[in-house]
Structure 1
Amino acid sequence: MKKNVVIVGYPGVQALDVVGPFDVLSGATLRLDVDAARTGRAATGGYSITLASIDGGAVSAGRGLEFAAASLSDVAEPIDTVIIPGGYGMDAARGTSELICWLRRSSARRVVTVCTGSFIAAQAGLLDGCTATTHWAWAGRMADEFPAVDVDPDPIFVRSSERVWTSAGVSAGIDLCLALVEDDYGTRVAQTVARGLVLSLRRSGGQTQFAPPVWMPRARRAPIRDVQHLIESNPGAAHSVASLAGHAGMSARHFTRLFTGEVGESPGVYVERIRTGAARRQLTETEDTVSVIAARCGFGSAESLRRNFVRRVGVSPDQYRKTFA
């Protein structure tokens, strides 16, 4: 028996959040049907996929693109998986009481969110007590609005429990659905679908590598702001706490306390963040070796830069350069 999957549609949905999961799951269904035909067995595996909206009207993705949709009230039970896509209409959708009530009543075995679809699931209380992710640009807002959800902005997708799966921005919904297929029907089927879509079954690193370096707030006190400027203008200098405190005209202990309180992280962590950002830019904008970039940005050695990159960005400098240069 095919697993019943419902993709929730609403005005302003992100088209790829709908089409990406659909293509992965329908591709897996085709693969299973072909395998069954070759062996003379009846085709039983795969997915029956329905795009459904509250009123059953066409779902607009903007710019003239619309999807035909069924009504959520007419969707056949039992439902195996509900997929909630994101999109610019997310805020309006989560303010729609009929949709939120339907999600709360749903007895689906799995709830899957793509990108900012996590906000809709969180509005319905489906992510309370769970670790979840969303698009990196929206993670801060989600954490602020839903303190009952442990928001992790880095993973491509998170399986918080048997029921709750969340993914990062847009194309990450494809990664998540490949994982669903692998969980349901094994690695061979999932790998076949990934190859057909010209994708890797598992993407390296997290979404931190796609986010721009975080802009850090300016301190209120002029001496601390001056230290921030000093670090940012010359990341490769020997920025010890003692030297930075001396530049600010303070004791090391007093400087560290003020800097951490106003900037939100310690001087040492801030220096490392700025150096990492500088290295990211040079890896994509220059052809200099990793060793040269490491020395220029204050890491001392290529190995030190590599360890920092893997910890902060999730991939090695070489892999980052191949992807983004």
Structure 2
Amino acid sequence: MQRRVVIVIYEGFQLLDLAGPSDVFTTATLLTGDDGYTVHVAAPRAGEVTARGGVTVTARTALADVPTPIDTLMIVGGLGIESHLTDPDLTPHVTRLASASRRVTSVCSGAFLLAETGLLTGRRCTTHWLVADQLATRYPDVEVDPDPIYVKDGHTWTSAGVTAGIDLSLALVAEDHGHRLARDVASGLVVYLHRPGGQSQFSTPLHATTPPAEHLRDLQAYIDANPAADLSVPTLARRAGMSDRHFSRVFTQQTGIPPGRYVERSRADAARRLLETTTHPLPTIARTTGLGAPETLYRVFRRHWRTSPGDYRRRFQSKEP
């Protein structure tokens, strides 16, 4: 029997929060047939619902008319979700439907609606990093972790922003059908599967401002693509056509991070990805990411993620066969 997935939208929702998960479940159904999913889109009121950006989607069912039980209830995000929290055609019905669902999920700022219903009280959750502080302040009884791509706490799943809804949905498919199907779905959608839920939604570019100067943007891309190269300040300054001092000053002004710190974080991110997706020994990872020795790798991980490389691998390495 196919699992019923109900995705809740409202005026101003984020279109990819709906489209990404919907395509994951639909692709899984194409690959499994009768053992897949049926996706239903519901809104406070049936009819046309306009996403942020102006695209209109038709919700054929009002929330009040959604039948139960439900396998998976998913709340999408949107920049204006706070203005909908008091909607009598939204929040009370989400509460009702959640009580009749095997699992309850949210994408991006959809976590605000789950928190408003009390479904996240005493639970750990995540959301888009831009609104994590706002969620934590508004709902002090909710443990908000702004770092992971998605979080599972009991039967409740929450995800980070926008494309993280695809990661969340792939994880749900993997839980239902195994990693092999999730991998096949990811391959069909041409998306990257190796993103465990605990992986940070932050990467080096998010920790640094994109510089307005094109040659510095190109230099950032070079650093990220070549972690084992000579990335010393003199070498980078020569690539940028500047003196060492002038380069350090301009890079820091335009990115908000000194070049040495950017290089270290970029190398740490490269090592983190290898720990998640390979079985390479730590000396190999340290060497190929430009960190040199396992001792340096250990110190960098302690500084940036307050854990050891070995512990990180045990927690977040992909478990697919």
How many residue pairs match? The answer is 236
Bigger Rg, which one: 1
Alignment of 1:271-290 (within 5 A): 279=260, 281-282=262-263
Structure 2 alignment gaps of length 5 or more: 210-232, 234-255, 272-290, 310-321
Specify whether residues 280 and 108 from structure 1 end up closer, same or farther in structure 2 by C-alpha distance, changes over 3 A only. Answer: farther
Runs of 4+ in 1 over 6 A off after TM superposition: 283-286
Report the TM-score when normalising by structure 1. Answer: 0.65
Could you tell me which residue of structure 1 aligns to residue 203 of structure 2?
209
Aligned residue number for residue 56 of structure 1: 46
- 1:82 aligned partner: 73
1:189 aligns with one of 177, 181, 185: 181
Question: Normalising to structure 2: TM-score of the pair?
Answer: 0.66
Matched residue of 1:97: which SS? coil
Q: Contact 1:209/1:315 (CA < 8 Å) preserved in 2?
A: no
**Displacement, 1:62?**
2.9
Q: In the superposition, relative to structure 1, how do residues 97 and 159 fare at CA in structure 2: closer, same or farther (>3 Å)?
A: same
The aligned amino acid for 2:120 is L
Q: What whole-Å deviation, never above 9, does each CA across 1:101-158 have from its counterpart, x for those lacking one?
A: 0111121111101011101110111101110001111111111111111111111100
Question: Aligned-residue CA RMSD in angstroms?
Answer: 3.1
Q: Does 1:66 align with 2:56?
A: yes
Structure 2 SS opposite 1:207 = coil
Work out whether residues 128 and 149 of structure 1, in 8 Å CA contact, stay in contact via their aligned partners in 2.
yes
Tell me if structure 2 keeps the 8 A contact 1:10–1:89. Answer: no
Which of residues 71, 85, 104 is equivalent to 1:111?
104
Taking structure 1 as reference, are residues 277 and 52 closer, same or farther at Cα in structure 2, changes over 3 Å only? Answer: farther
The C-alpha deviation readout for 1:276-304, integer Å capped at 9, x for no partner, is: 87545346999xxx9xxxxxxxxx97656
| Deviates most, 23-32 or 102-111 | 102-111
Q: Which moved more, 1:87-96 or 1:110-119?
A: 87-96
Separation of aligned partners in 1, 2:205 and 2:89:
34
1:43-95: CA deviations, max 9, x gaps?
3x111111110111211113330111021122232211111011122112222
Cα distance, 1:187 vs structure 2 = 1.4
Q: What corresponds to 1:178 in structure 2?
A: 170
Q: What letter corresponds to residue 202 of structure 2 in structure 1?
A: T
Q: What amino acid does structure 1 have at the position aligned with 2:161?
A: G
Amino acid at match of 1:30: L
Secondary structure of 1:7's counterpart equals strand
Per-residue deviation, 1:190: 0.8
